[in-house]
Structure 1
Amino acid sequence: MAETWTSRADVATDAAERYAEQLASHLGRKAEVRDEPEGRRILVGDGGCLLVVGEAVLELRAEAASAESLTRVQHVVGSHLERFGQRDALVVTWRTPAP
């Protein structure tokens, strides 16, 4: 069975829906975006990130086939979100689950 690398970031914001929409729209120009029951998934290389809108939080669930790919997904999604959310001082801090 292939190993999957995962990480998660919970970004506090009262505009989670707006930021999820903005990320999906912007990144969807170069990446595939899929609507799923829990949220929107942005596919980046051999990984992706599920955007889950919560109450006052945008949850980012990243996964990839390798550590390098996971780092790329985290960088692409996290850096765009922080740039879009500069006025609101959004900070993306990724956490990797313990093995």
Structure 2
Amino acid sequence: MSESSEHPVISTAHVRTDRPARYAKQLVSHMSRKVPGVWDADTGKGTIEFADGSVLAALTDRGDSLDIELTATADSVERFEGVVGRHLVRFGSRDELVCTWTRSDDSPGTEQRFTADAD
């Protein structure tokens, strides 16, 4: 493993919505069918653990947004930005959610927007 992939990269997304708790709960519920995930409605916080705990998504209801902090390796951060972001914007398609990621290592983050597939 290269040095850059051993150090964690923190990628954050600030997703504007007037229903952050609803989307966080839905995201955690969906993901926790395959990986560990918890959502605490009282605190407005939750987590989803991927890759046997080596990748963590921390979710926070900010009232007017859902903040996500993803901790992953440089080699996996793009993949997990996509996994979390694609699911979230699909759940929030009616509200046209946009999930734009900013990374701590100054590499470009990804962006997910809902696009309806043509039938």
TM bracket, shorter-chain basis = 0.7 to 0.9
Structure 1's consecutive aligned runs of 4 or more residues displaced over 6 angstroms after TM superposition are: none
Structure 1 spans left out of the alignment, 5+ residues:
none
Instruction: Decide whether aligned partners of structure 1 residues 85 and 38 sit closer, same or farther in structure 2, where only a CA change above 3 A counts.
Output: closer
Q: Is the 8 A contact 1:48 1:73 kept in 2?
A: no
Instruction: Decide whether aligned partners of structure 1 residues 38 and 67 sit closer, same or farther in structure 2, where only a CA change above 3 A counts.
Output: farther
Give the aligned residue type for 1:76: V
Instruction: Decide whether aligned partners of structure 1 residues 9 and 70 sit closer, same or farther in structure 2, where only a CA change above 3 A counts.
Output: same
Larger Rg: 2
TM-score by length of 2: 0.74
Matched, 1:43 2:65: no
Matched, 1:78 2:85: yes
**What is the match of residue 14 of structure 1?**
18
Aligned residues: 97
Aligned-pair identity (%): 36
Structure 2 spans left out of the alignment, 5+ residues:
1-5, 107-119
Aligned partner (choices 76, 83, 88) of residue 95 of structure 2? 88
Higher relative contact order at CA 8 Å, sep ≥6: structure 1 or structure 2?
Answer: 1
